[in-house]
Structure 1
Amino acid sequence: MVSGKMKAVVKNDSAFGAVLAEVPIPHIEKHEVLVKVKAASICGTDVHIYNWDQWAQQRIKPPYVFGHEFSGIVKAVGEHVSNVKVGDYVSAETHIVCGKCIPCVTGKQHVCTQTAIIGVDTAGCFAEYVKVPSQNIWQNPADMEPAIASIQEPLGNAVHTVLDSQPAGASAAVIGCGPIGLMAVAVAKAAGAAHIVAIDKNEYRLSLAKQMGATLTISIEKEDPLQIVSALTKGEGIDLVCEMSGHPSAIEQGLKMAANGGRFHILSLPEHPVTIDLTNEVVFKGLTVQGITGRKMFSTWRQVSNLLQSKLLDISPVITHQFPLEEFEKGFELMREGQCGKVILIP
């Protein structure tokens, strides 16, 4: 077994920020795997934890190592582990599920009633090593770049959001062009969407959306999305609206621009309750509204892997910055300012 100390980014106090520290290498149990991290990416959830916002204050219990998106090499396995071996190149599903509740036993593990999250409820991957339940391990192709392999988890969110509809030949809109929104643009392109509208206020990220395959970008600071979408669709509306921003006015606009009989998929997490016009924007429109949480285990992972290996999906433009783990603060500042795509930390 591997033992000793490792460097890690630790949420040390109930306050803004984090620190680089030396902590013990995790000790694995019988059903766990120890992974030496090759690349870890910063997620919006990590920024919430770093900022110590209201959500983090209610959920997080410092001190602990955070981070949950990674790739790496297996260095040790528990005595009851048979699905993975030392030397395997892996990533991990971050939702730890119970396997016993009704959703789990009926094939809906992604909505397990007892879900715990790596790097949120357990020690995470902003470190040299991370331990993971063996059932959460995903094997990576040997030739996949570590940075790409580390963002398969959030890419799975984008794949789940877009491909739980039938986007081929349809119109799609992505509201909110953070990293997962940008990946959703690329997924819609790979799936054959005829029109892909990207909507945001951040000009930097709108330029990235064009690189990812958006056929039209709309800056809400300068333009009226509803007028532009109405002209584009001849008043019919968008077939698939993917809400990634969590902003109440964006949600309202998204519902209005959705076509009658269309779909409205929500991956975002609004900080407060949102008021919507159910009668006119959902019921009378015959709109299907679907909440998207996590990735289907493990069918979404298979879709992600196959799309990447087939070269139908190119998400490399979304990775805009890479830093040594010691320079984690630079990465978090870029994420907080919105002047980046995906930021990768290298232990």
Structure 2
Amino acid sequence: MKALFKETAGPGLTLVERPEPSPGPGDVKIKVLRTGICGTDLHIESWDAWAEGAVNAPLIPGHEFSGRVVEIGEDVTTVSVGELVSGEGHVVCGHCRNCRAGRRHMCKNTSSLGVNRDGAFAEFVVIPEDNVWQHQEGIDPDLAAIFDPLGNAVHTALSFPLVGEDVLITGAGPIGLMAAKVARHIGARFVVITDVNPDRLELARSMGVDVAVDVSRTRVAEAQKQLGMQEGFDVAFEMSGHPTALPEVLDNLAHGARVAMLGLPTTSIDINWAKVVSHMITIKGIYGREMFETWYAMTAMVSTGLDVSAVITDRFPVSEWQQAFATARAGNSGKVVIDWS
């Protein structure tokens, strides 16, 4: 089969022929149709410090995908050949305290698809039956391929009640953009998003945010004035990881506000802890998706009108994978999808 392969510990990927994987007794083999490119994949391709410490080459990366089931193991009972599926990329142990308590997304023994085990940048991928998510027929395979990052957006957005609330989102990358759509779908009043990239800010405007703030030119407080807000934002999603984002978020929050942090900072962040205490602000870390409550929630929202398809701005055949990675790395677009069909 064709696969994007990290043959050795170093920069680059190669499109090569690899042996097709075979499913074990509890596994499902999937013919990959589409894959999304994630920031994790960019780290692995460039082989930065994070990749060097987290990934053991050789490896097939990729964890955002959709495809059709082509073979099932002898012990598989809930998945059928021919179904259109995606996969939860966190393969958990099932035996640690969090797994046994129903908090599988907190499993300390997680093995991640495309990071710790061969992933979906290939014509075929094998995952455990428990990690398969079956889609309703008729869903666009492109959309099905980005349910993984949509799950990040939904997990973040559902961390706190949003109906009637004013929401601030820092970072207009694909997950931030999808989180804005989710917040609006749930019933937020005002949705404001920040970034420094004019293309992504324009995409955010086209996707219905109330104000898109270029924080290289203006401050979030100006958006509050523009919207006639009196008391600050009720809920914030920090999606950027930039060290200046959280301090400015805190400057613009109401008393009792809540912050969900998905962005991964690369440096330490100095914040006004006195305001966190005096304003009774809650800060919550977010990682991945709740397994599988988030999957049920996002499927329900998509089936009742949530439309995040505009976040997919670029599509490439697998033969043009290098251009696909370059487009994703440039950071001027939304979600980039590779077609394996």
- Aligned AA (2:59): Y
Corresponding position: 1:297 with 2:291:
yes
CA distance in 2 between partners of 1:14 and 1:223 (Å) = 42
CA contact (8 A) 2:318 2:339 kept: yes
Q: Quote the residue 1:273 is aligned against.
A: 268
What secondary structure is seen at the aligned counterpart in 1 of 2:244?
A: helix
Using the TM superposition, give the Cα deviation of residue 228 of structure 1 relative to its aligned residue in structure 2, in angstroms.
Answer: 3.2
Report what 1:117 is aligned to: 112
Unaligned runs of 5+ in 1: 1-5
Q: Whole-Å Cα distance in 2 between the matches of residues 21 and 251 of structure 1?
A: 43
Residues 243-268 of structure 1: CA distance to partner in whole angstroms, max 9, x if unpaired? 00001111211122222101110011
Q: Structure 1 residues 271-280 or 201-210, which shifts more?
A: 271-280
Sort the Cα spacing of 1:230 and 1:113 in 2 relative to 1 into closer, same or farther, 3 A. farther
Name the SS for the 2:114 alignment partner. Answer: coil
Query: How far apart in 1 are the matches of 2:221 and 2:9?
Result: 42
Question: Residue 230 and residue 292 in structure 1: after superposition, are their counterparts in 2 closer, same or farther (change >3 A)?
Answer: farther
Matched, 1:306 2:300: yes
2:142 partner SS: helix
Q: Which amino acid aligns with 1:290?
A: K
Aligned to 1:322: 315
TM-superposed deviation, 1:336: 1.1
* 1:117 aligned partner, one-letter code: S
Question: What is the match of residue 208 of structure 1?
Answer: 203
Q: Equivalent residue for 1:338? A: 331
* CA–CA distance in structure 2, aligned partners of residues 264 and 102 of structure 1: 27
The alignment status of 1:177 with 2:172, answered yes or no, reads yes
| Structure 2 residue ranges without an equivalent (≥5) | none
Q: Distance in 2 between matches of 1:320 and 1:107?
A: 36
Partner of 1:3: none
Equivalent residues of 1:40, 1:69 under 8 A apart: yes
Farther-moved stretch of structure 1 (290-299 vs 225-234): 225-234
Contact 2:37 2:336 in 1 (8 A): yes
Look up the equivalent residue of 1:106 and give its one-letter code: A
Deviations for 1:134-173, whole angstroms, at most 9, x for unmatched residues?
1001110110010000111110110110112111111001
Q: CA shift at 1:24, angstroms?
A: 0.7
1:179-234 CA deviation, whole Å, 9 max, x = no partner? 10110011011111110001000111111111222010100121122343366464
**Is the CA contact (8 Å cut-off) linking 1:71 and 1:146 kept in structure 2?**
yes
Matched, 1:197 2:192: yes
* Larger displacement relative to structure 2 (230-239 or 146-155): 230-239
3-state DSSP of counterpart to 1:40: strand
**Does the 8 Å contact 1:126/1:325 carry over to 2?**
no
1:1-347 correspondence to structure 2 within 5 Å: 6-229=1-224, 232=227, 234-280=229-275, 282-311=276-305, 313-347=306-340
Aligned equivalents of 2:71 and 2:132: distance in 1? 13
CA distance in 1, matches of 2:252, 2:47: 34
1:174, 1:43 → 2: CA distance? 19
TM superposition score normalised by structure 1: 0.95
CA contact (8 A) 1:226 1:253 kept: no
Return the letter of the residue paired with 1:310: T
Amino acid at match of 1:337: A
8 Å contact from structure 1 (residues 230, 237) kept in 2: no
| AA of the residue aligned to 1:315 | V
Contact 2:166–2:234 (Cα < 8 Å) also in 1: yes
1:210, 1:105 → 2: CA distance? Answer: 43
Q: Distance in 2 between matches of 1:330 and 1:214?
A: 30
Number of equivalenced pairs: 340
13 and 230 in structure 1: CA distance in 2 versus 1, 3 angstrom threshold? farther
